[in-house]
């Protein structure tokens, strides 16, 4: 333990330089590989202006791959949010967004470390800030995080906003933040479940109101365009992308690969979804009773990723704060070992690329059985995590080793 403590002190002292080095190395990988194109960011940048011309959902990005036309798939409010970015030329927009994403990763990590540290943050703030820097340097190498940079996705921005506002003390801030985030991209709407579980009724009401305002702005800009999205395109997962590709790590994606066809909302998906909801609710209840805000939020976010028709592998950036929780939270040793042993290999080795290289195209559904099993990694480990959390938080921990876990953070 003395050796490990000494090693930690040295790493923490060098944390700022390790972060700079990590950023430089990851940037080099980006600009010399697939990530130099930032194809999803190009969709936002090239198509957002169409929200003002009424044909937002009629066009596809001119930068789409030949086998994968990329339309705008978010609500009209999302296009309005991206609109200021389109006033920049492409290079400036691309690099500004990359810098923003790094800052949001750091903020996500910092918020998570503050929650898991509890009162220890106040007593030893400098050490915890160093840990946040070190974690940021490490998590830049986590595959969902790197793929977010590679594609130019908004996952880190949304995750940082969602975690920060969910644990904010002010119900107005919490509710409005979640409502507007859901207006940009629908998946954060699952966060309302956390408000209900923690009995933050005002925050829940504010989130619904803010979401309604975001949707209303879309109708105000172009009624027909908004109507087409909400009443025609909404729920059309096939328009977003291939359901069964290895990129899609939702329950529906994994089940579709197993069945050899898109299962849609048939009984296998309903059964899996009900199981996920039940397990997640048990985990959430355990987290709320333990006063553990971070794992409570993560339980809700994991449920959203499981239930969404499409949860691309880069949407799973929520595993980043989970790793922080596992490393620093005082929980049963078996729980820590099981989850770290499960998640670390798939998070830091590119199992998604391994699968993609062994399927003829991203539109191919059927595949060998062993690839089908490998394609369950993210959703299977998410379900495992929810079960372990529900059980582990009931496991007694010696009083002297408990850390205070605030329900909210200012």
Residue-range domain boundaries for the chain: 2-401
The C-alpha atoms of residue 123 and residue 119 are separated, in whole angstroms, by: 7
Check pLDDT > 60 for residue 119.
yes
Task: Provide the pLDDT confidence category of residue 369 given band limits of 50, 70 and 90.
Answer: confident
H-state helical runs in 291-376: 293-307, 319-328, 333-348, 351-356, 369-374
pLDDT in tens, 57-88: 999 999 888 778 899 999 999 999 999 999 99
pLDDT of 37 reads 85
pLDDT in tens, 142-193: 999 999 999 999 999 999 999 999 999 999 999 999 999 999 999 999 999 9
Check pLDDT > 90 for residue 32.
no
Check pLDDT > 60 for residue 132.
yes
Helices (H) and strands (E) in the chain, counts: 22, 0
pLDDT in tens, 199-231: 999 999 999 999 999 999 999 999 999 999 999
Range 326-340 average pLDDT = 94
Range 17-33 average pLDDT = 91
Helix (H, G, I), strand (E, B) or coil at 312: strand
Angle at 251 between CA 208 and CA 260, to 5 degrees: 140
pLDDT of 358 reads 83
Range 109-137 average pLDDT = 92
pLDDT in tens, 277-330: 999 999 999 999 999 999 999 999 999 999 999 999 999 999 999 999 999 998
Report which of 324, 107, 147 is spatially closest to residue 249, judged by C-alpha positions.
147
Query: 124 is written with which tokens?
Result: 């030893």
The C-alpha atoms of residue 389 and residue 342 are separated, in whole angstroms, by: 14
For the CA atoms of 282, 284, 286, 291, the dihedral, rounded to the nearest 10 degrees, stands at -170
pLDDT averaged over the chain? 91
Range 98-117 average pLDDT = 96
Task: Provide the pLDDT confidence category of residue 31 given band limits of 50, 70 and 90.
Answer: confident
β-sheet bridge partners, residue 60: 71
Q: What is the DSSP letter of 232?
A: I
How many Cβ atoms are within 10 Å of 278's Cβ, its own excluded? Answer: 12
pLDDT in tens, 7-18: 778 888 888 999
pLDDT of 2 reads 59
How many Cβ atoms are within 10 Å of 230's Cβ, its own excluded? Answer: 15
pLDDT of 396 reads 60
H or E stretch covering 96: helix 90-117
pLDDT of 401 reads 43
Matching residue, tokens 């595949």:
367
Separation in Å, CA 388 to CA 116, 288, 325: 18, 15, 13
H or E stretch covering 153: none
pLDDT of 40 reads 93
- Would you put residue 38 in left (φ > 0), alpha (ψ -120 to 50) or beta? left
Range 330-344 average pLDDT = 95
């Amino acid at each position: 333990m003395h050796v490990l403590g000494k090693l930690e002190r040295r790493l923490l002292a060098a944390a700022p330089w390790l972060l700079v080095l990590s950023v430089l190395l990851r940037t080099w990988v980006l600009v010399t590989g697939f990530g130099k194109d930032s194809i999803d960011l190009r969709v936002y940048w090239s198509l957002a202006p169409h929200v003002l011309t009424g044909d937002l959902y009629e066009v596809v990005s001119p930068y789409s791959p030949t086998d994968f036309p990329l339309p705008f798939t978010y609500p009209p409010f999302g296009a309005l949010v991206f609109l200021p970015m389109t006033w920049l030329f492409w290079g400036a927009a691309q690099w500004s967004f990359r810098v923003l994403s790094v800052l949001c990763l750091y903020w996500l990590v910092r918020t998570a470390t503050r929650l898991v540290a509890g009162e220890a943050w106040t007593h030893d703030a400098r050490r915890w800030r160093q840990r946040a820097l070190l974690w940021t340097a490490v998590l830049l190498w986590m595959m969902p995080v790197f793929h977010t940079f590679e594609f130019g996705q908004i996952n880190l921005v949304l995750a940082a906003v969602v975690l920060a506002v969910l644990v904010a003390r002010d119900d107005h801030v919490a509710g409005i933040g979640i409502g507007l985030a859901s207006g940009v991209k629908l998946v954060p709407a699952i966060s309302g479940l956390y408000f209900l579980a923690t009995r933050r009724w005002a925050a829940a009401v504010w989130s619904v109101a803010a979401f309604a305002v975001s949707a209303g702005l879309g109708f105000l800009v172009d009624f027909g365009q908004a109507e087409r999205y909400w009443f025609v395109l909404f729920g059309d997962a096939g328009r977003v992308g291939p359901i069964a590709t290895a990129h899609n790590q939702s329950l529906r994606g994994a089940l579709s690969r197993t069945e050899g066809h898109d299962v849609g909302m048939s009984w296998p998906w309903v059964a899996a979804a009900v199981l996920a909801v039940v397990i997640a609710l048990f985990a959430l209840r355990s987290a709320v009773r333990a006063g553990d805000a971070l794992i409570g939020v993560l339980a809700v976010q994991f449920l959203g990723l499981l239930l969404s028709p499409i949860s691309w592998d880069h949407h799973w950036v929520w595993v980043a704060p989970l790793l922080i929780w596992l490393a620093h939270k005082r929980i049963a040793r078996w729980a820590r070992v099981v989850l770290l042993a499960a998640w670390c290999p798939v998070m830091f080795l590119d199992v998604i690329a391994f699968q993609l290289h062994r399927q003829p195209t991203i539109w191919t559904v059927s595949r060998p059985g062993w690839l089908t099993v490998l394609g369950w990694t993210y959703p299977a480990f998410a379900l495992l995590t929810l079960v372990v959390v529900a059980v582990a938080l009931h496991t007694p921990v010696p009083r002297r080793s408990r850390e205070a876990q605030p329900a909210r953070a200012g």
